[in-house]
Each structure stands twice: as structure tokens, then as C-alpha cells.
Structure 1
Amino acid sequence: MFPWLAFGHILPFLQLAKIMAKKGHKISFVSTPRNIDRLPQLPPSLITFVKLPLPPVDGLPTTAEATSDLEIHAVSYLKRAYDLLQQPLAGFLRSSRPDWILFDYVPFWLPGVARDLGIPTAYFSIFLAGALGFLGPPSVLIDGGDYRKKPEDFTVAPNWVDFPTTVAYTYYDIKNTFDCVEDDASGVNDLIRIGLSARNCDVVTVRSCSEFDSDWLRLLDNIYEKPVLPVGQLPPPPPAAEADPTAWGSIKEWLDEQGSGSVVYVAFGSEAKPSQDQLTELALGIENSGLPFFWVLRTRRGESDPDEIELPPGFEERTRGRGIVCTSWAPQLRILGHDSVGGFLTHSGWSSVVEALSLRRALILLTFYSDQGINARVLEERELGYCIPRDESDGSFTRDSVAESLRVVMVSEEGKIYRDRAKEMSGLFGDRGRQSRYVDNLLAHLLNNE
């Protein structure tokens, strides 16, 4: 397995690796030393971790090995360094001779390397089938034949989607993401990487399940013209004992004092960082909602980020007792699983969505960039998430819209649909046995096509 150097990619790859390993398969998990050292400790016999040092690149801090270590504009330098892993990875493949390689979209060059060695490849997309379907066929992504040239063109479903859907980018979401359709410092943009990975692999695997994504999976079968296999939603296992039980103990003690379903959990993943204006409106909206909250706040992106964001003056004093702001790591799965948590204000990253829905938590959505905008529209279309109202042109929002959105989803009769739908969907997303059978189907395909 060879994931891209972002923890939103590494962790789903690791979850799939653990499921496969428990079914009796030998997994070599390839990444850089620092990223591997930051992963949860596993029994040594389960997965072999292979460390490939990241080559130095001008513009990339020597301590940066993941996207969360960097400001957004510097991620393209990480891609350039990642592309330089081609030769050391080829050396490892030559010596280890794996039966299959599961790879991410960034190493678009990997199918060619593997083909020369006689090794089949599976492109494993952590992006939703809806996101891949919206982007389109490989020919569109690779050859620049996309009729969509302006951000406005991405605000409606593309012409190859053959079923009714409201899934499309909002203008502000695509504006935030539009740099991915232009060349970056790595020399190859993300759309070309996705297109080449999908075109040149032997099979495409997607984090999805047919009960949730049947139309989009069928579309991918048509536009990719090769097998497209869902691997399930990869719900997390029950949390193991924390390395620092004292930290969880203090969090649990506070949560135990709150009413059932009353707390809003707020977290935007390892990478999404609000602007200072957004943070101010968010904080004042959370304050004005009157609801108890637990907020995991990321104030910087990596050590080199000079723009540290700050809460409004007096916010923590005014909300003391009603809410907690945590600026370090927090055990998200344990928090979401606590009975006092009723809703999750999230960036719509799919791992967070899967965790929340598997635990019956209603979703309030605030997107920032990348596939988050499509994820949010997929959830909105199914009445599984409520998007905070924003200005269509620039994505700005107000403290009043934040406060009202939280109250709608958490306590109002209008928002009961979101609470009920989250409970309904937990039967699908949280069913580890059903989701594990998708991995069985994938393994059967790989075994029959070595």
C-alpha cells in the first residue's frame, strides 16, 4: 500500500490494510519515516511498515512529511518530493515482489513502474464515488477536454451524469479548489494525476458501498471502462485504551456532566484551518447558540505557518463551563461516542463523516476546499447534513447563521430529520460485518486476477 502523504489518505489506507491483514493477507505499508512513526502502534505481525526517506526539495521544510505540516501553498513541493520516491519504491518492489499494489492518486507514475515489474495495480480512491464521477472520465482529466473552463461551470452536474442529482460544487467551494486544475510547483496538477491513475491501473477501488452510492458507482463503471469495486465505508473499530487515559478521563468527566445529546462537537480535521474572520464568526456563533460544545481547534498548519489564528477576546471566559476549546489532539471517536454528544460541526471530510454516522451523530457542515464541497452536497441531497448558509460568491458566513444552524440541527423540530436520518444511517455505516464483506469481494477479485 502506497498512500499520499496526507493523514486523510494514510488513515483510510491503514484501516483497509488492517482489515485485509486480519483476513490473512500480508501487507507492506509504504510511507515516510515520520508519518509511520505518527501512526497508531499495531501488533508487529499484522502489517510491515516500510520507511522511504523523503528526498530534499527546495521550498519544503526538512521536518515536513505530511500535508498537515505545511501551509496549503507549499503542498505542491511535497508532491515534488513524493514523486522523487519513484526509484526507491521501484527498488523495494523489485526485492519484495508483491502480488498487488494499492496506490493513491498522487503517484500517477506507479502503474508504469509496476507494469515493468509484472505487478498489477489497484487505484484506491479515498474520494467518494460521487466526487470521482463529478470530475469525469480520464480522457477529460488528462487531455484537458473538459468543457468546464470557469468556476461557474462546476456549479451544475456535468453532462456525463445520466441520473437526476443536485450534487455539484457551490461557487465558493470550487473557487477555493480551482487551483487544482492549474499546474502547480510539482509540474502535474491533481486532475491529471487522478486521470492517469484511473486510466493506467488494473482496477479502481473506492471507499463506498452500493447501498449508499449505487448510481455513482454505476457511472464510474461506464466512464472508467474497467472494474470499479467499492471497499465499503471502512468504519473505525471501537477505540482501544488511550495512551494517555488521564486526558480522556478529564474530557469524559466534563461530558458526563452534560445532558444527553446536548453537546456540539466541533472539529475540522488535521488540515482545514479557518481564516481569522471565519474563526471569529464561528466562535461568536457557537457562543450565541447557547449550546454546550467541545471544540478541537487547529490554529496553525504546521510549524512553518506564520498566520496563527486567535479566538475573539473574552470568548473562553464567557463560555467557561459551557464549552471546552482543545488546541491539542483529542480522542475524536471516544468523544463522538459519548452519549452527551448530539451533533458534529465538521468540514465534511469523509473519515469524520463515517465516524459520526456510524455513531448516530447529526451533521452540521462547513466546507473549506478539495472534495469537501462535493461530500457536503452528497450529504445534503440525502438529508444527512445541514450546510451552514453562506454567501454564494465568497463563502462568507455570519455568527447568526452559525448559531441558527446549530440550533436547527441540535434542538429544533425542523432539524429532527437530520437527527433521525443519522440514526437510520448508523445501521449501514456502523455495520462492520456488512462493510467488511466489501473487502472480501475486493480480495476475491485480486486473488482471481493476480
Structure 2
Amino acid sequence: MAPETGNNLKIVMFPWLAMGHLIPYLEFAKLIAKQGHHVFFVSTPRNIQRLPKIHPSSLLPFITFVSLPLPPTAGLPDGAEATTDLPSHLVKFLKLSYDQLHIPMAEFLNSSAPHWILHDFASYWLPPIAFQLGVKIGYLSTLNPEFHGFMGPVSAMKGGEGSRKKLDDYIVTPTWIPFPTTVSFPYYDVKKIFDKLSQNTTDDGVSDIHRFADVIQSSDVIAIRGSYEFEPEWFNLLNQIYQKPVFPAGHFPTTEHDPTQDETEPWKFIKNWLDNKKQGSVIYVAFGTEAKPTKSEITEIALGLEESELPFFWALKTRRGPADGDEIQLPEGFEERIEGRGVVFRSWVPQVKILGHESVGGFVCHGGWSSVMEGIKYGKAMVLLGFFGDQGLNAKFLEERKIGYPIPREESDGWFTRRSVAESVRLVMVEEQGRIYRDRVKEVRPLIVDEERQDKYVVDFLDYLKKHRNCKR
């Protein structure tokens, strides 16, 4: 670890209130701390409490957690502080409450006098505060460069040249991408999120596209999760369309935070079950902290896993917080029929430990980028079934690179069948035709796990922050 000196930085990190953003931000905070700089990690009390413990402990002196209570907002259930606590239709109230953090955030920044702020896509209101206080601010994205490249320049996001007016505009390659690619949104995904891609501001708050555009436009520097080795053409594109410094931040895949997890009862049970399966035979199934399939989708997934005749471990989240009254139910008799061959686990699981187990050969996931990075880190072939947001777009990129195989779906409504689930799982896991996915993920794995390369991306970015910090702070 680099020694702490007078040239070291004080950096505030402020992620959006979703575990898929909080955990990658924490991973990047650890990489910054490893270089001897101090991080103030700002979030709400409950989110800070549920973050994994810092490991190794030698990083603890370099990371300070700062709790800002989330202001109460009409429509937001008590105790909800992250998207994982809420059914999707209530997330808009979380954003309204999040936006009210501008006053306590300004007070904290004024008292702590950091050199830089690294913030997420949602806090469009933070750059003006930073400017007023004389603090430099950067956008640190947990999303990939493919997503940003597809969304395009700020002018297009703000309704200017190249802007998209209709749903069909999002299912084709935009004119500003100069190289061949299949990356775009599936039609069924755009239907779900079209309101978030609109520039209109309503009583429900500011749209996501407005937040993205303002954050990109107002930040002094941009760092995006990814690397030149993995996505060179996309980073070159972003440098052209953003017209400001764009740094690859590396992939920072999730690490095993707490060694004491080895002693927990859930992991003991999971490990014992996996230990009794053949190497590479088990398909691990998990759709992240936010995705919630419908009852009919769950039925097709379950019966497809059953039809595949392969052993599987399914980490199933049955509801999104106490306000979600519609708990997921599996088909009647399913668990009895798959007993011994499959397990459905309804509480939290140590995903990186499961993926790291030698009996796991494949990963059925939603295509969220943190899960994708974890799958690649452990060399697991992926079957992709996205449910919202950037997941369908990610799946197209991964299929383009033959790193993951999307389950075939109806373009109009996203429907898939148990047969398509079974056939996709068998293709990626055991069939000769799917060997390319098993081989390709192992080929790209070194790009994700190379710690020396990851540290270089962090050091290069920090060198820029040191050179351009405001010396008055």
C-alpha cells in the first residue's frame, strides 16, 4: 500500500441507493484506499450498515463512512433506503427522497473540505453545490461503456441533434456509433423504461435520462467501469462524444469481503451441497437484488430448470421489501420433484463464494454488470435473462462477444418458455455447440482478474485527480 503523504487526496464517494451501485463503489473505494488516499463513503444509515465489512482491515484507516439520514417522503415506506427494499413502482419515491439530501450533503462537503467528489448518475443536483464550494467533481459510473456509448452525447440525451423521440429509436444502432455492433435495447425492455428515457419532468421527479445528461455535462472528469483491453472501441467513442476526460476505471469485480463468512450456517450448508456435486456440473441461478420475475415467468424458469435435467442452485429473492405484498410462489410440487438435484435458497447467499466453487460450471443471471463481472472473474459460462434497465442491452454485447447466451424471447413482449430455458442451459453447460461460450469466458477472464492492470487504471485516474485538484481546499 502506498504511504499516506501530504500529496494524498480526500475523496467523497456518493453512490446511488442500489446495491448494484453501492457494492461497486465500495470496491473502488478500497482500490483508492490501497493507494493511500482517504475516502469519505457517503450513504444512508441502513445502507452503510448492510455493506460488507472492509477487508483487508489494513484499509480501514483510509475509509470513513458518513451516514446521511434519508428525508421522509410521501409514498416512501418507512425503512426503505435502497431499491432492493421496494417494488419497482415505488422507486420513484426513493429518488424524490434522495434528491432532498442536497442540504445535508452541502453541509458535509463544507465541513469536510474534500479535494474531489465522485458521484453517480442520479445526483444531478450535486455539481452546482460542488462548484459553489470550489470542490472538483467526477462521475464514476458502475455501468459499462457500451451503455454510455449507446445513450450517446449529452445533446442527444437533452433533446437536441440525434435525440430519440419514439420507442423504436432505441432498438437500432444510433448514427454516432461508427463501428458495427448489435448493441441496442430489446423492444420489450424499452416498453418498460421508456418513461425513464424521456426528458419530461413530472410530479414523480426528474427522469433518469435527465439525470445522466446533467451529471455527464457538469462533471469535471468521467471514470467508467471497464478497460481498453476489453472495450477499446467504446472508450474511444466516449472520448469523442463527451469532449472531456474519460478514464477507464478497470472492472473492480466484487471481492470476498469477510473471511468469517466461512463459518456461517448458510455457507456451510451451501458448500456441503456443492462439495457433493461433480466438478463443473452445477448451474447457479440468481437474478440480483432487484429483479423480480412475474408468477408466469417464475413458472417457466422453474420448469425449464427441471426439464434441463442438470443440477442447479437457485438463489431466489421472493419479494422486494416489506411493501411488496406479492410474494413469489414456485409451481406446486416443483421442489419435491427436484429434491437432491436442485436447491432453491430463499435467503441471502455469498454469491462470489458460490461462483468460485469448482462444482459450479455455469451462471444463469439477469445481466447486471456486477454479476457479469463476477461470472467472468470465475470463468463461468453465462445464460442471460434480463428483466429491466440496461440488462437487455448488456446481453446483446455479451452475445456479440460470445461471453454469454441470451435465452430466446419474443421481441414484442419478452416472453420465453420453459423449453427455451432448458435448451439454453444445456447449450451453455454441456452441448458441443455451446463450447464457444465456455471457452470464450475463460479467454477474457485474465482481463478481469489482473490486479496489476486494475491498479494501473486506478493510479492513472488518481494521478489526474491529484494534478487537477483545487489546491485551496
TM-score past 0.5 threshold: yes
Deviations 1:280-316 (A, max 9, x none): 0000000000000000001111110011110000000
Contact 1:357–1:426 at 8 Å: present in 2 too?
Answer: yes
Alignment match, 1:35: 47
Deviations 1:110-148 (A, max 9, x none): 111001111000001111111011111112212465542
The 1-side partners of 2:448 and 2:168 are apart by: 33
Alignment match, 1:14: 26
Query: Quick check: 1:361 aligned with 2:361?
Result: no
Match of 2:436 among 400, 417, 435: 417
Moved more, 435-444 or 195-204: 435-444
The one-letter amino acid of 1:349's match is G
* SS of residue matched to 2:14: coil
Distance 1:39 1:239, change over 3 A: closer
1:182-331 equivalences under 5 Å are 182=198, 183=201, 185-238=203-256, 240-243=258-261, 244-331=263-350
The one-letter amino acid of 2:114's match is P
The one-letter amino acid of 1:142's match is K
Alignment match, 1:337: 356
Alignment match, 1:405: 424
* SS of residue matched to 1:212: coil
Contact 2:407–2:421 at 8 Å: present in 1 too?
Answer: yes
Alignment match, 2:8: none
The 2-side partners of 1:61 and 1:331 are apart by: 28
The 1-side partners of 2:438 and 2:313 are apart by: 19
The 2-side partners of 1:165 and 1:108 are apart by: 30
Alignment match, 2:400: 381
The 2-side partners of 1:286 and 1:175 are apart by: 28
Contact 1:364–1:387 at 8 Å: present in 2 too?
Answer: yes
Alignment match, 2:106: 90
- By how many angstroms is 1:230 displaced? 0.7
Contact 1:173–1:368 at 8 Å: present in 2 too?
Answer: yes
* SS of residue matched to 2:344: strand
Contact 2:383–2:428 at 8 Å: present in 1 too?
Answer: yes
Count of residue pairs the alignment pairs up: 450
Contact 1:76–1:184 at 8 Å: present in 2 too?
Answer: no
Cα RMSD (Å): 1.2
Moved more, 102-111 or 246-255: 246-255
- By how many angstroms is 1:367 displaced? 0.6
- By how many angstroms is 1:173 displaced? 1.7
Alignment match, 1:26: 38
Contact 1:239–1:333 at 8 Å: present in 2 too?
Answer: no
Deviations 1:30-72 (A, max 9, x none): 0000000111122442310000000010000121000010111
Structure 1 residue ranges (4+ consecutive) displaced by more than 6 angstroms after TM superposition: none
The 1-side partners of 2:203 and 2:67 are apart by: 25
Contact 1:34–1:65 at 8 Å: present in 2 too?
Answer: yes
The 1-side partners of 2:107 and 2:258 are apart by: 36
Contact 2:225–2:250 at 8 Å: present in 1 too?
Answer: yes
* SS of residue matched to 1:415: helix
Match of 2:79 among 53, 63, 66: 63
Structure 1 regions of 5+ residues with no counterpart? none
Alignment match, 1:76: 92
Alignment match, 2:10: none
Distance 1:362 1:91, change over 3 A: same
Match of 1:352 among 362, 371, 391: 371
The 1-side partners of 2:163 and 2:44 are apart by: 38
Alignment match, 2:191: 175
The 2-side partners of 1:144 and 1:268 are apart by: 36
Alignment match, 2:6: none
Identity of aligned residues (%): 52
Deviations 1:390-423 (A, max 9, x none): 0110000000000000000000000000000111
Distance 1:24 1:84, change over 3 A: same
The 1-side partners of 2:98 and 2:203 are apart by: 12
The 2-side partners of 1:147 and 1:246 are apart by: 52
- By how many angstroms is 1:435 displaced? 1.5
* SS of residue matched to 1:321: coil
The 2-side partners of 1:85 and 1:120 are apart by: 19
The 1-side partners of 2:307 and 2:203 are apart by: 43
Contact 2:52–2:258 at 8 Å: present in 1 too?
Answer: no
The one-letter amino acid of 1:255's match is L
Contact 1:71–1:302 at 8 Å: present in 2 too?
Answer: yes
* SS of residue matched to 1:54: coil
TM-score for both structures, normalised by structure 2:
0.93
Contact 1:239–1:334 at 8 Å: present in 2 too?
Answer: no
Contact 1:176–1:368 at 8 Å: present in 2 too?
Answer: no
Contact 2:81–2:94 at 8 Å: present in 1 too?
Answer: yes
The one-letter amino acid of 2:127's match is P
The 2-side partners of 1:9 and 1:144 are apart by: 29
1:91-130 equivalences under 5 Å are 91-130=107-146
The 1-side partners of 2:17 and 2:163 are apart by: 31
The one-letter amino acid of 1:433's match is E
Contact 2:155–2:163 at 8 Å: present in 1 too?
Answer: no
The 1-side partners of 2:47 and 2:265 are apart by: 25
The one-letter amino acid of 1:251's match is I
Deviations 1:341-391 (A, max 9, x none): 000000001111111101110000001111111111110110001000001
The 2-side partners of 1:400 and 1:242 are apart by: 41
Match of 2:149 among 125, 130, 133: 133
The 2-side partners of 1:131 and 1:361 are apart by: 23
